[in-house]
Amino acid sequence: MGYKILQKKELIPGQTSLLVIDAPQIAKKAQPGNFVILRIDEQGERVPLTIADKDREAGTITIVYLVVGKSTAQLNDLSEGDEILDVCGPLGKATHIEKQGTVICVGGGTGIAAMHHIAKGHHEAGNHVVAIIGARTEDLLLFQCELDGFCPEVLVATDDGSVGHKGFVTEVLQKRLEEDKTVSEVVAIGPVPMMEAVAKVTKPFGVKTTVSLNSIMVDGIGMCGACRCTVGGETKFACVDGPEFDGQKVDFGELKSRLWQFRGQEEKSMDHYKNGGCRCHGH
Ligand SMILES: Cc1cc2nc3c(=O)[nH]c(=O)nc-3n(C[C@H](O)[C@H](O)[C@H](O)COP(=O)(O)OP(=O)(O)OC[C@H]3O[C@@H](n4cnc5c(N)ncnc54)[C@H](O)[C@@H]3O)c2cc1C
Ligand code: FES
């Protein structure tokens, strides 16, 4: 028996959706920062997705995904009531959360959903959480209402200025850090160039900076080496040593080049899926 999709909500038409999945055992243990690896069917590849929220009483977890290729497109073709063959988790180390004062949580694109769970954890630990969220335009902003529900400050940046600051989240962060010397940690989740830029901004302020790496993963349990990354000159496996690391120590250049290593195969696989290829090929 698989994992039933109890709710599906399209957040950005054709691009980003939220699924609430019946997974009581995972919901019981899930912590901010954890992720799952799911497989849609017997031939499916293993897809890592962050746990954006959980409801222990209802026994559910929430995931939010951006359709970028074959597996996420296939996931997006599922509906409420359908089942996902397997969902493995919670995986990865949970976010280190303690009462420490003001924490700024920066989220970009789909990363806002993942950041939401961490921001909630910091809020529940008694921290003053400042959320800084960004997207290309207002319609692409995710989870703003949810963050408004518990964050005393939600600062918004859009590339086109349709809402909030016109420009990048890093500009809003820079200003906030200049005005407020009490910030104890900055957490950033989003596209790799955004996390890299956040680490650059925080460096002169000497503020602890945590980033969540989305390295390519296969097994998710430290055996295959696919998620290898370099942090502080040492080799780490993002799935078991992370996915969160000190942003000042991550080799972002290596991370970016490793994320692109299967581009050719990924494009072929997506073309095949779009053209209605059979289930036994094109993975
Ligand atoms: C810990 C972790 C948490 C993640 N959380 C989320 C999330 O909450 N929401 C979300 O939309 N995405 C998340 N991702 C990225 C997501 O796993 C990829 O977008 C997805 O696997 C792409 O698969 P695809 O077949 O649709 O695309 P493909 O065409 O196969 O790949 C498109 C791009 O996605 C990345 N990718 C492909 N396969 C993997 C893989 N096995 N592991 C990681 N990245 C891959 C590569 O950069 C690749 O170039 C997360 C990744 C990691 C490692
Ligand atoms: S995904 Fe295999 S070692 Fe991390």
pLDDT digits (tens, 9 = 90+) for 163-177: 999 999 999 999 999
d(C-alpha 111, C-alpha 143), whole Å: 10
Question: Measured from the CA of 237, which atom of ligand 2 is nearest?
Answer: 4
Give the pair of three-digit tokens for residue 37. Answer: 């690896």
Burial grade of 230 (CB within 10 A; 0-12, 13-18, 19 or more): middle
Atom 19, ligand 1: which residue's CA is nearest?
A: 68
Report yes or no: 172 and 157 within 8 Å, Cβ to Cβ.
yes
Average pLDDT of the residues of the chain:
92
Atom 2, ligand 2: which residue's CA is nearest?
A: 224
101 and 195 share a domain? yes
The rounded Å distance from CA 216 to ligand 1 centre is 7
Report yes or no: 159 and 132 within 8 Å, Cβ to Cβ.
no
97 and 193 share a domain? yes
pLDDT at position 282 is 42
pLDDT at position 267 is 64
Given 72, 91, 110, the domain boundary residue is 91
pLDDT band with cut points at 50, 70 and 90 for residue 207: very high
Question: Measured from the CA of 239, which atom of ligand 2 is nearest?
Answer: 4
The rounded Å distance from CA 71 to ligand 1 centre is 9
Q: Over pLDDT 70: what percentage of the chain?
A: 93
45 and 122 share a domain? no
176 and 236 share a domain? no
Peptide bond connecting 193 to the previous residue in cis, omega within 30 degrees of 0: no
In a domain, 31, yes or no: yes
88 lines ligand 2 (CB under 6 A): no
Given 208, 224, 248, the domain boundary residue is 208
How far out from the chain centre does Cα 254 lie? 19
15 and 87 share a domain? yes
In a domain, 180, yes or no: yes
* Average pLDDT, integer, range 194-222: 95
pLDDT band with cut points at 50, 70 and 90 for residue 259: confident
Question: Measured from the CA of 48, which atom of ligand 2 is nearest?
Answer: 1
- As for how many domains the chain has, the answer is 3
10 and 73 share a domain? yes
Report yes or no: 102 and 130 within 8 Å, Cβ to Cβ.
yes
Closest CA to 114 of 56, 67, 62: 62
Report the CATH number that the domain containing residue 256 is assigned in CATH: 2.10.240
Report the CATH number that the domain containing residue 141 is assigned in CATH: 3.40.50.80
* Average pLDDT, integer, range 36-59: 95
CB-based contacts of 193: which residues, under 8 Å, 6+ apart?
A: 256
Strand, coil or helix: 105: strand
pLDDT band with cut points at 50, 70 and 90 for residue 258: confident
The rounded Å distance from CA 47 to ligand 1 centre is 6
Report the CATH number that the domain containing residue 27 is assigned in CATH: 2.40.30.10
Range(s) of the domain holding residue 106 = 93-208
In a domain, 22, yes or no: yes
126 and 52 share a domain? no
100 and 195 share a domain? yes
Give the ligand whose atoms come closest to the C-alpha of residue 110. Answer: 1
Given 64, 91, 118, the domain boundary residue is 91
35 lines ligand 2 (CB under 6 A): no
The rounded Å distance from CA 205 to ligand 2 centre is 33
130 lines ligand 2 (CB under 6 A): no
End-to-end Cα spacing for the chain: 23
Res 283 pLDDT > 60: no
In a domain, 274, yes or no: no
84 and 157 share a domain? no
Taking phi over 0 as left and psi of -120 to 50 as alpha, with beta for the rest, 94 belongs to beta
Q: Measuring from each residue's beta carbon to the nearest atom of ligand 1, which residues come in under 6 Å?
A: 35, 46-50, 64-66, 68-72, 110, 114, 214-217, 243, 259-260, 263, 266, 270
* Average pLDDT, integer, range 49-75: 94
105 and 201 share a domain? yes
d(C-alpha 189, C-alpha 210), whole Å: 9
In a domain, 277, yes or no: no
Closest CA to 172 of 156, 186, 183, 160: 156
Question: Measured from the CA of 216, which atom of ligand 2 is nearest?
Answer: 1
68 and 161 share a domain? no
Rounded to 10 deg, the angle between the 169-179 and 192-202 helix axes is 20
pLDDT at position 101 is 94
The rounded Å distance from CA 225 to ligand 1 centre is 16
Q: Over pLDDT 90: what percentage of the chain?
A: 84
Rg, Å, the chain Cα set: 18
Give the ligand whose atoms come closest to the C-alpha of residue 68. Answer: 1
In a domain, 278, yes or no: no
- How distant, in Å, are the alpha carbons of 103, 167, 276 from that of 144? 17, 17, 36
97 and 204 share a domain? yes
